[in-house]
Structure formats: C-alpha cells, structure tokens
Structure 1
Amino acid sequence: MDGKRAGTGTGSGTPSRRGILAITAFAGLGALAGCGTAHPDDGKGGGGSGSGAGHKPSSSQSPSPSRTRKKRPQLPRGGRELFPEYRLVGYCGLPGAPALGRLGDGDPAERVKEMEKTARKYAEDRKPLPVLELLATVANPSPGPDGTYRTRTPDKTIRRFHELAREQEALLLLNIQPGRSSALDEVKALDDWLEHADVGVALDPEWDMGPGQTPGDTYGRISGGELNDVSDHLAGIVDDHDLPDKPLVFHQVADSVVEDEKKMRPAKGVPLIKSADGIGSPGLKRGTWRQLVDGMPDGVHTGFKLFYEEDAETSRLMKPKEVLALRPKPEYVMYE
C-alpha cells in the first residue's frame, strides 16, 4: 500500500497510515491525564454548563415552588430538530495527539473559536452549528488488560470538552473506535454523558475489529443491524429524558466497512448521518462521495470529511464552495 487511504474508498486492506494513527492514539492517551490536570476546572462539576458523568445535582437543590413546568431541553442554538434548520461543521481530535485531528492541535479553546469561523463559511441557507468531535474510545494496536484493543478517554477530559462546547453553544460528539469491544457496549459506557441535550455519538466502523483482527492491520466493519441497535439505544435515552435530536454519525471509508446498509432505519429523535471518509485530491474525494452516497437508504443524512494535512500532501484542501456543490449537499462537514 502507498501509506494513504485510497480516494475511491474501495480497498479492503488498511494502509500503513492507519496503523501509524492507531499507535499515535495509543501514545496520546498516555498524556491525557496531564492534559486534564493542567486545567483546574476539570475537577469541577461544571455547574449548570455540563457536569458530566457521576456529577448529579445536590438533593438540597430543589426547584422553586413558583415553577410549574420545566422547559424542554433544546439544542445548543435553539430548537429541538437538527435538520433542515442547521448545518453541522466540526473538528475531530484528541488532546495530546495532534496527528489525529485539528481539535487536538494546540490550545483546544483556540481551536473552538476557529471552528466557529469555519462553520459560518458553510452556513449558506442554514444556521451554523459547530461540533467538537472528541475521540472518546480509541482503538489500540495492543490488547490491553481486558483484551479489547481499545482505551477510553477519561471523564475529566470529556468534561473539559463538554464545557468548551457549551461555552461556544456547540455540539459535542463522542467518537468511538471500538477495537474488539462492541460499538453498543462503548456507547452504553457513555450513557451519563448522552443524557445531555448537546451530546451525540460518532462511530468509526473501520476500527470495529472482529475476532483475531488488530487495529491498524485491516479495516473493521459494522452491520446495518448493529447501527440500528445503537440508534435504538440513543432513541431510548432521547425519549426517557425528553431530549432534542441526538445525532448518530458513522464515518465510512470504504463500502466494506458497513455491511447490510439497506437494513439501516432511522429511529425517532436520532438523525443518522453517513460521513464519507476518504483522502485525496478533490477529484478523488468526489469519486468517493458518489460511490458512498449512491443508493443510500432513505432518511439517512450526509456528511463529508476533510483532512488538513493528508488531502494537501498530494493535492489541496477542498474549499467550502466545492464541498457545498456536492449532491446531495453535506449536512455535516468534519475536519480532521
């Protein structure tokens, strides 16, 4: 292989770049604790701006007797339905591992401010809604103590990025690379965070390994039925807590990483977003797009991924107007 993912997204093997990123991610997670403790607010509950897992309101904080009805939870910039009101634009990453995306390169607070400007370039006829796509479960090249070939990002790091998202009125997407764990189990491990109205899920099926497979050596895969299971689980959370739309993104680098795609069915309150994930020139990326969206199931929304470094290595980064010229027009644009 040539060290990059094919722009057409047709290969069944994994280029060496994926193994490098897996190792980088594994090394980056070792620095997460230090990254978190460098910010004194990481240990706080965050007040009303997103306390996160394990931080429930004190029992002494009872509602005012004058309140007769609690306001229904809203999306970060208002309303309860994502589409067609908003266009999502975000950065992906992990602090301490800049090779994994823009969000982990430099000061996260500065990246969030930059992301707002980027989102406005894509707004067009919709309202911009920035997204922080944080790697919450990262595939590893080694099995670890439980043999799952994955590491979970500490709660204090998720809390820090949830607070950053709230400061910017943005969505937080928790990205999951399951390793040999299951996607549904990893989503369930994040349930406390998913009870928030501004937190959704992104899945990376290429890192969803079967028995005997090692992250970085080959592409993993997920089935339409498994995606439905995750979608149904999120729909249950939405219903239980009367939440607004909670997005479920799945990044697709090749046809092979999603099996039985026709079996996918949207669940109430859970917009399903298929994100075309391929590296290369604008022409190659358009080819990947056409291949992946052709015959897409009804009710599935579209996403498109851009790579600041890899796309520019052999060509150039696509401009917003070029991305918006794709058909169907992407409803989520993510930069890695």
Structure 2
Amino acid sequence: MTSRHRLLPAAALAAAALLTVTACTTSAPEPETAELTVATPQAAVTAAASGTAAERAVETSRALWGSSPVVVLARADDPDAVAEAAEQGERIGVPVLIAAEGVDVATEIDRLGAATVATVGEGPTADDLALGDVDAVPAADVEAPAARDADSSTLVVVSGPADAAASATARAAGAELLALPEGVTDLQQDASVVGAMGASETDSTLVVGSAFTDRPHLEWSVAAARSGAELPGGGQQFFPDRRFVALYGAPGTSALGVLGEQDVAATVQRAADTAAGYQASSDRPVVPMLELIATVAAGDAGPDGDYSNELDPDRLRPYVEAAAAAGQYVVLDLQPGRTDFLTQARRYESLLTEPNVGLALDPEWRLAPDQVPLRQIGGVDAAEVNGVSTWLADLVDAHSLPPKLFVLHQFRSSMLRDRAAIDLSRPELTTLVHVDGQGSQPDKQATWRALHDGAPAVAWGWKNFYDEDEPMLTPEQTMTEVSPVPDLVTYQ
C-alpha cells in the first residue's frame, strides 16, 4: 500500500509550481532490503554538463551510484535548502538531487531503488513526486544507512560552486573530488589542477559543470591533464601567463643563427641567459626556448630533388633532452624547399611526441616546382597549413600530450596565402605568427603593423637579428617599442 507523508500544506507547494515529474511504475525495494552501492564509470571520461545544476545532479548520481535506499532532495528555488541538502547528503552518505521544473528526479530515485526521500526545506512531498512506495521524511530525521559496498574509483572535477549537490553526491560515493579554482574553466589553465589530476590514481574521470558543456575534444583535455606533464613554466597553457625568448639556428653551424655557435650545453645556458635579460621588462614570467632548424633549405636539389637538407632526428635529440632538463621549450623549424610541410613534419614524429617540443613552418622556403631557395620567396596555402595542424593535433591527442606551440613564420602577406582560412579550432595547438622582418627599425615596425591588420586571433612573435637589424633592439626596447608586446622574441 502506498505510504505518503505530507510535510507541508499542499497549497503551499502547488503555488510553487516547481515539479513536472513522471510517475514510476516500478516499486522500490523496502528499506530493510535496499543496498548502498557505488559505481565507477566504464568510460575513461564522463561529463555531467547539462544546462542546470539540477540536471547535473541527476547525471552525477547516475554516473557514481548503483543503488541507494535513501536520497536527499531539495527544491531548486531554495538555495539555502540546496546547501543544507548537500551537507545532509554527505552526513547520511547518499546521493543528493534537486527538484526543478523539467528535471525527472523520479526516474533517478526509482533507478536507485530508494525507499526514502530525505527532504530539506519546504518540500517537496511524496505527493508532489508522484512516486510509489516511497516515504518522504525530513533529512534531519534520517540516520545514515549501512556502509556503502566500496568507494568509487573516480576523479570528479567540479567547475563551480553551483554544483554543490553533485559535489556532495561524489563525496558520499567516496570519489576523489577536485574543485577548480575560481575563474578556471579550462583543465590546461592552472598548474595546480594539472598537478592534482596527474597525481590521481583513480580509474576514470567525471567532469561536472556548465564549463564543460559542448567542450570540444574533452577526452583529450582530461587525458592531457591526467598525464601530469607540464609545459616549461608550469601547467599546460602557453599564453597569456608566460613569454618565450628563443635562440634560432641549426646545430653545428653559425651561418644560420646563434643557436649553432656553441655546443648543446652552452646553447641551453645561452638561451637561459638571454631570456633572463627580459624578466625585468616583462609583465609575465619569461621561459627560454630553442628554435632548431630541422630541415634546411639548400642551394642544390640534393639526392631527393627537394632543395632541402633534412637533419637526422637523432642529431636534434640532445638539444631536446638538454632543454627539457633545463625547463626550456623547443620548436622544430621546417624549410621544405620543393616538398611539402607535412611530409617533412612526419619525419620528426618521434621528437614531436615529447611534451616540450613544438613545430614551426617557414613558408619563405616552401617553393613551387620551378623555384630555387634565395631566388624566390615561397609561400603556402591555408589548406597545407591545416593539413599539418590536423596531423599535429591528432598526434597530441593520441599521446595525451599537453598543447603544442604551432609557429607560422611570415614577413610578407604572400607567405601565408588566405591566412583567414587557417584552422585555429584545435585546442591541442596554440598558433603563433612569427614576424621575421629584418633591417631598419622603421621597416620592421611597418611590417609588424601590416601583418597584424586583419589578423586572426593568434599569439605573436618578433625576431631580433644580431647582424642585420639597424640597430637591434635591447630587451627593454623590445618590450616597450614593439606594440602589441610579442609573446615570443627570437634571436638570430
């Protein structure tokens, strides 16, 4: 026989007009036979990211609980009751749900097999829920049921205080809870979040909050954070919380830039010293970087006929390893001659799977079949750039890596043809346009301004030439006379 205990006059609840729930046709088990069982989602990543906290509370309960003889319930329009319900849910050790218009809490209560609804605040009553054999009693009068069968082996990441009910449900299930710091909406944004997620030994991840609604590539974002791998400077986000200062060149030769003027150890130290010269003028921490020319445009066709000499990845690896040990980033620069960028990028896949290695495309040296380096200035279409970025982003995704810096060199508009069509949608990459003009400062500044005109939303790099600039800017001048202030400053 149905048991219904009113807690408030029916008229008061009818006036609230909160609940539109569906009657359950399956009777719940009696309190003495109900069990308290938790669950661990089978999927590596699950999201409770619907539009309201009430919906997300149901999704969290569904993800973490197999059954419960009791649920705690409060009305969505009573914030104090929701807060108290969260406290009561943790005390009793059961799921917490929120009754709201359009949210089918009845189905979740039935799925859990709950025989008791522990209410907080002004209702709702069992009549309002239209449930079967379920008692509605004040939460304060409910004792904790028998201990749950186990803890949920789930890391629950909650994006904001609005999800107090979901957080309480997670704690009651014995899940590991991580609340994102205020203002943080991206898992890659905060070093403490990456550290905590990397340290977790749980089997799965549940992300809770509106911040995760329709988030593209969420599985990668979670997997990358859970890897615990951090970029030089901490965390897994390049900008705007750091600035890079780089040495440019190829190993073993001073003809292509200052990077090749000394051995590996001395190069890493020189990069650190050069970056340190910027810290006093920079409003962000400054991180040293090496830009290694991996493929060098050549004056003759060579055996493969592409007018580009490809360095063996093993020749570059000592730089990558030394930079990683010193907390420095590395970008591999491609000068492909008559071949295409993707063909050359694939050659360095083993290096690009390292978390501190990004990729640069140098269209000056991307030549047509009838062109030769230094006789013509090359260029590349957006379609080819997008082919490389898609491949690189997929590589990051496949290896659960932090985002990679994707650098596009440019000093003429023709070098990046149809630039507006370049795909910037992949969160696995941070795209930076590097302005490589040299010569007099008025000319360099004019090029800088011209390339910014109508530019997409990207980061920006500036290059200082020791021998070609007239004069070369000091670190302080670079920070004060170049506007907007570059995110990356490179020395050649």
Q: Same fold (TM over 0.5)?
A: yes
- Is the 1:87–1:122 contact (alpha carbons within 8 Å) kept by the matching residues of 2? no
Map 1:214-229 to 2 at 5 A.
214-229=372-387
**Residue 128 (structure 1) shift:** 1.4
Deviation readout 1:183-217 (Å, 9 max, x if unpaired):
11111111111111111001110000111111121
* Residue matched to 1:243: 401
Structure 2 counterpart of 1:145, from 294, 303, 316: 303
Per the TM alignment, residue 280 of structure 1 is displaced from its structure 2 partner at its CA by 1.0
Contiguous gaps of at least 5 residues in structure 1: 1-65
Per-residue deviation at 1:281? 2.0
Match of 1:194 in 2: 352
Output the CA distance in 2 between the equivalents of 1:72 and 1:131: 21
- Look up the match of 2:439: 280
Higher CA-based Rg: 2
| Residue aligning to 2:471 | 316
Distance 2:450 2:418 in 1: 16
Q: Tell me how far apart the structure 2 counterparts of residues 245 and 327 of structure 1 sit (CA, whole Å).
A: 26
- TM-score when normalising by structure 1: 0.76
| CA distance in structure 1 between the partners assigned to 2:398 and 2:262 by the alignment | 38
Take 2:277 and 2:463, find their aligned partners in 1: how far apart are those partners? 15
SS of equivalent to 2:486? coil
Number of aligned residue pairs: 267
Q: Which residue of structure 2 aligns with residue 96 of structure 1?
A: 252
Q: 1-side partners of 2:295 and 2:386: how far apart?
A: 20
* Cα drift, residue 77 of structure 1: 3.0
1:270 aligns with 2:429: yes
Query: Please, which of 386, 389, 392 is the counterpart of residue 234 of structure 1?
Result: 392
Answer whether contact 1:223 1:260 (CA < 8 A) is retained: yes
- Matches for 1:295-314 after TM superposition, within 5 Å: 295-297=454-456, 299-311=457-469
Q: How does 1:13-52 map to 2 (within 5 A)?
A: none
For residues 277 and 71 of structure 1, what CA distance do their matches in structure 2 show?
35
* Percent of residue pairs identical: 38
- Could you list the per-position Cα deviations for residues 110-129 of structure 1 after superposition, in whole angstroms to 9, with x for gaps in the alignment? 23212212213334121211
1:166 positional shift: 1.5
Query: Match for 2:259: what amino acid?
Result: L
Relative contact order (alpha carbons < 8 A, sep ≥ 6): 1 or 2 greater? 1
Equivalent residue number for residue 272 of structure 2: 116
8 Å contact kept, 2:380–2:415 = yes
Higher alpha-carbon deviation: 174-183 or 105-114: 105-114
| 2:451 matched residue in structure 1 | 292
Equivalent-residue separation in structure 2 for 1:329 and 1:226 (angstroms)? 29
**CA shift for structure 1 position 68:** 6.0
SS at match of 1:259: coil
Matches of 2:490 and 2:350 in 1, distance apart? Answer: 25
- Which one of the candidate residues 337, 356, 359 is aligned to 1:179? 337
DSSP 3-state at the match of 2:314 = helix
- Show the counterpart of 2:232: 76
For the residue of structure 2 that corresponds to 1:181, the secondary structure is: coil
Question: What does the per-residue CA deviation read over 1:13-49, in whole Å, with 9 as the maximum and x for residues that have no partner?
Answer: xxxxxxxxxxxxxxxxxxxxxxxxxxxxxxxxxxxxx
Alpha-carbon spacing, 1:71–1:261, altered in 2? closer, same or farther (3 Å): closer
Moved more, 206-215 or 320-329: 320-329
CA contact (8 A) 2:313 2:351 kept: no
**How many Å apart are 1:67 and its aligned residue?**
6.4
Match for 2:254: what amino acid?
P
- Whole-angstrom distance in 2 between the partners of 1:324 and 1:306: 12
Displacement of 1:167 after TM fit? 2.5
Structure 2 residue runs without a partner (length 5+) = 1-199, 204-225
Paired residue for 2:77? Answer: none
CA RMSD of aligned residues (A): 1.7
Which residue type is aligned with residue 321 of structure 1? E
- Name the CA distance, whole Å, in 2 between partners of 1:200 and 1:328: 23
Distance between the aligned counterparts of 1:320 and 1:296, measured in 2? 25
Amino acid at match of 1:82: F
- The superposition leaves residues 106-152 of structure 1 with CA deviations (integer Å, 9 ceiling, x where unpaired) of 23322321221221333412121111111101111111112111111
* C-alpha distance in structure 1 between counterparts of 2:269 and 2:390, whole Å: 34
Q: Which amino acid aligns with 1:322?
A: Q
Distance in 2 separating the partners of 1:109 and 1:319:
25
User: For the Cα contact (< 8 Å) 1:137–1:151, is it kept in 2?
Assistant: yes
CA deviation vs aligned residue, 1:191-244 (integer Å, no higher than 9, x gap)? 111111111001110000111111121001011222222111111111111111
Q: Deviations over 1:244-267 (max 9, x none)?
A: 120011111212211001111212
CA deviation after TM superposition for structure 1 residue 334, in Å: 0.5
CA distance in 2, matches of 1:155, 1:194: 10
The answer for the alignment partner of 1:162 in structure 2 is 320
Q: CA deviation at 1:321?
A: 2.2
> Contact between 1:73 and 1:242, CA under 8 Å: does it hold in 2?
no
Give the Cα separation in 2 of the matches to 1:121 and 1:97. 25
**Alignment partners' CA distance in 1, 2:487 and 2:314:** 30
Q: Secondary structure at the match of 1:310?
A: coil
1:106 matches 2:280:
no
Letter of the aligned partner of 1:196 in structure 2? E
Corresponding residue for 2:293?
A: 135
